[in-house]
Amino acid sequence: MFTKALFVFTQVISIVTTVILAYNYAKDYADANPPPPPTQSPLSLELLKIRPPFFDITTPKPSPGPPFTYFTGLFIRFFPTVIMFLWLTTVCADRQTNTPQIQKTHRNVIFGYGGIMVCAVISQLVVMVWRNDLRVVYSTLLMFNLSPIPFFLFFICDQLPKYEIKNRDEANLFKLKIAGIQLSISLLLSLLFLVISGFETSKLIFMVTMWYTVFFSAAISEFCAICEYGIQLRDEGERIGVYEQQERGGAIIYRPAYGHPHNSNIVETK
């Protein structure tokens, strides 16, 4: 339950921080890109050509147009609609086939956490490739940092109180290992870009990768643990014990499921 609460908390902080960051960036971009004068002298054009390279990262480029790419607006408008359509498709399919609850829960959490993980990985790759274009960097952060909202609302929110990961102690240790791997990758990428691109680019890559390590590690760790250990419904342990009582003849044996707090106690009745 702690991991689920941590996931919700970190995603809320990430979304709020993203909105504030995007708002401040848009203001700074507007201040750095005032409307061009009717004419520009040859001297001012020459000064723009000799701008030091590090200004490409630390300040917005003096390029015309909005601070975010055109694709950003389309993504924010249509991506939640696409996710909602997929969710409605699964709901209709479940009603037609009478899918068991455990299968529905497993599919939804895999799709929800997996979608969030894919968004985190893709956004980091995009920032690394187009690291010198602030419009692409901030557009990517805005799109993919808000993308967990539809995944959470349609696929995860309803399933949070219904499931738990099997082998809880081993799964928690596995989650810590995944978080440690994410942190190591973030540091290695920052050192790599420090060598090949310089301090400012390395700082940008470190900030972005650390962002996803802090705010998305709970979702990524939960996804990996579900894939590794599987899930069970919260009342599954008690129901398995009842099934064993009904199926055995003669002596009735109650044997709770593995992972149940009373797993070591076997009660035999005549």
- Phi and psi at residue 22, to the nearest 5°: -65, -40
3-class SS of residue 126: helix
Q: How far is CA 37 from CA 16, 32, 34, 41, 64, in A?
A: 36, 14, 9, 10, 12
Instruction: Say yes or no: 222 and 264 in one domain.
Output: no
- For 146, residues 6+ apart whose C-beta sits below 8 A from its C-beta are 15, 18, 76
pLDDT tens readout for residues 120-138: 888 888 888 887 787 888 8
pLDDT tens readout for residues 84-106: 999 998 888 888 887 788 888 99
Mean confidence (pLDDT) of the chain = 75
Instruction: Say yes or no: 265 and 184 in one domain.
Output: no
Of 159-173, 192-206, 253-267, which has the strongest mean pLDDT? Answer: 159-173
Range of the domain at 260: 235-270
- Phi and psi at residue 249, to the nearest 5°: -100, 165
Instruction: Say yes or no: 246 and 221 in one domain.
Output: no
Q: Which of 241, 243, 246 is nearest to 259 (CA)?
A: 241
77-81, 114-118, 180-184, 191-195: the lowest-pLDDT one: 191-195
- Rg of the chain in Å (alpha carbons): 25
Instruction: Say yes or no: 44 and 127 in one domain.
Output: yes
Instruction: Say yes or no: 209 and 75 in one domain.
Output: yes
pLDDT tens readout for residues 145-175: 888 889 999 999 888 888 889 888 899 899 9
Instruction: Say yes or no: 243 and 137 in one domain.
Output: no
Instruction: Say yes or no: 109 and 120 in one domain.
Output: yes
Instruction: Say yes or no: 9 and 55 in one domain.
Output: yes
Instruction: Say yes or no: 181 and 251 in one domain.
Output: no
- For 259, residues 6+ apart whose C-beta sits below 8 A from its C-beta are 166, 167, 168, 232, 237
Instruction: Say yes or no: 144 and 81 in one domain.
Output: yes
40-49, 112-121, 141-150, 161-170: the lowest-pLDDT one: 40-49
* The total number of structural domains that make up the chain: 2
3-class SS of residue 269: strand
- Assign 33 a pLDDT band (cuts: 50, 70, 90): low
Instruction: Say yes or no: 226 and 243 in one domain.
Output: no
Give the model's pLDDT for residue 34: 66
Instruction: Say yes or no: 146 and 261 in one domain.
Output: no
Contacts of 236-242 with C-beta under 8 Å, sequence gap 24+, read 236/102
pLDDT at 211 > cutoff 60 = yes
